[in-house]
Amino acid sequence: MILGIGTDLANIERIERTLDRFGDRFRNRVFTEIEQKKAERRRDTAGTYAKRWAAKEACSKALGTGLRMGIAWKDMAVSNLDTGQPVMHVSGWAKDRLAKMTPTGHKAVIHVTLTDDHPWAQAFVVIEARAIA
C-alpha cells in the first residue's frame, strides 16, 4: 500500500547561487558527508546538489510534514546503489515519523527517482508499506 507521495522541483541556478554565497555553511547544514562527496566529484556539482535538495523536499512531503515538525535536512539522505539507482535513507525524526506511519506487520520502503533538465532538478518519492511475510 502507498503511505505517502511527494515531489519537488528545484532550480539548479538558485542552488548554485546559494552554494556560491554560503558555501560550506549551506552544504554542511543540508547535506550529509556522503552527499557532499558525491556532488563535489561530479562535473555538474550544483545540479547534483539540486537533485538531492529536491529529494529531501519530496521525502518530507511524502512523510506528510514538509520541512516542519522537527524534521531536519540531514534526517533524509540520498545515496546511490552500484547501478546508479538513488536510494533514500532516513534517520532521526524522519525515521521516527516513518515508523509511526507504517502499519503493524508491514515494512516501509522508500522509492526515489531524480531527474534534471537545466535549469530544473526534480525528485519524486513514494513510500510503500510492504507486508512482512
pLDDT tens for residues 77-126?
Answer: 999 999 999 999 999 999 999 999 999 999 999 999 999 999 999 999 99
Tens-place pLDDT, residues 50-84: 999 999 999 999 999 877 766 789 999 999 999 99
Smallest Cα–Cα separation from 62: which of 113, 116, 23, 6?
6
Q: Does the CA dihedral 97-100-102-107 come out positive or negative?
A: positive
Name the fold adopted by 2-131.
Ribosomal Protein L22; Chain A (3.90.470)
Give the pLDDT score at 69.
67
Q: Which of 118, 121, 3, 131 is nearest to 59 (CA)?
A: 3
What does the alpha-carbon distance between residue 110 and residue 3 come to, in Å, rounded to a whole number? 10
Give the model's confidence band at 133: pLDDT under 50 very low, under 70 low, under 90 confident, else very high. Answer: confident
